[in-house]
Structure 1
């Protein structure tokens, strides 16, 4: 039986730190970067618990700026 493993990539230059993706993530994968800002001066989000991602894409769906790309792959157990 195969399992789905997910991964997210955040475009930190476009992220404005609205935190909608943090609320939407059912696995608590995303967190606000501590003491980091992007080129526009906004704090941005980053995958804090990347190994817990299941690739549901809830974060990418709610992102108003389209900053998050979700990848999914099958992992054989």
Structure 2
């Protein structure tokens, strides 16, 4: 897929250079920057939406985090209870 995209970009650069002269490459970079910015904004919106969904469902891991020390202490307590 990347090879196809690379070939299309090269062809677009050649065609734009033929029709627009030295400004063709500048137009190609401007379009590419616009596409990247659009993808970034859309990805940010999707990320924010996912965070809202997680909060709504109570799936946020912020409060549920347990440190390694707490886990080890709990396992030690369980082991002691099993011995008695």
**TM-score scaled to structure 1, two decimals?**
0.21
**TM-score scaled to structure 2, two decimals?**
0.20
Report 1 or 2 for greater relative contact order, CA contacts < 8 Å, sequence distance ≥ 6: 1
More strand by percentage: 1
